[in-house]
Amino acid sequence: MSRASMANETEVEIDRVGDLRAPTPSPSSSPVSPVDAATFTHTPYYCEENVYLLCKKLASVGVADPTGLDLFVVFISNEGNKIPLWHQKASQMEEGLVVWDYHVICIQVKSKGNKSSTVDLVWDLDSTLPFPLPLDQYIHKAIRPLSFENSLYRRLFRVVHAPVFLRYFASDRSHMKDASGNWMALPPTYDPIIAEDGITHNLSEYMKMHLPPDGSLKDMVDSAYANKYGVVVSEAVLEEFFCQIHV
């Protein structure tokens, strides 16, 4: 993920590799999350791989369904590859603002049949917000949909069912090398992820974002489950989209 800062829709470029220290929490910050983000594998600027491993761990430790049925991987980007998010650890700006070319989070859908647990959760290892955070709060605090309505900074969301993503995602990390073949950010120490079908790199397919045509939410949900690369959802219907998912 590359990044840029922005104020009043005027963009200022920032080096891809920068100070990744999170701001010091204030005494009034939110209470400690029940799940410690420090226990998850995290390599700065490799959010897609971080989320890949996060989904596997949530399933293996019993926080999620053992097969990941309640997990969705969400790529955030747009046609111009400029998406603002707030409360990001990589930021040195007020309220943690960063303009990423893309970002990846995990959304866990709680069982709608269990009235004691109906909150959908966002798992974002790059956020300074509580981990995890209810989806509606993440949208309000980190995405802020009304801030950039009908602008080039409007976010799009590619939603992929985690069991499908874990089978077919692949990255050779070539997107993180410059024209001379040098790393722009140090890669993870483990081997690159290869898809079940043998493909070694398809990250660009997940990053392609175009405003989706009008369609029913039901059809969009069906596509998120069935399609290899999921479905693209606009920020205007993101929360309503997840309300339609039942596990």
Q: What amino acid positions are annotated as catalytic residues?
A: 47, 103, 124
Euclidean distance between CA atoms 91 and 136, whole angstroms: 22
CB 121 within 8 A of CB 242: no
> How many CB atoms lie under 10 A from the CB of residue 10?
7
Provide the 3-class DSSP secondary structure of residue 6: strand
Which residue, among 1, 74, 4, has the nearest Cα to 44 in the 3D structure?
Answer: 1
Closest CA to 68 of 83, 58, 77, 78: 58
* Amino acid at position 111, single letter: S
Please tell me the number of Cα atoms within 13 Å of 52 on its side-chain side: 20
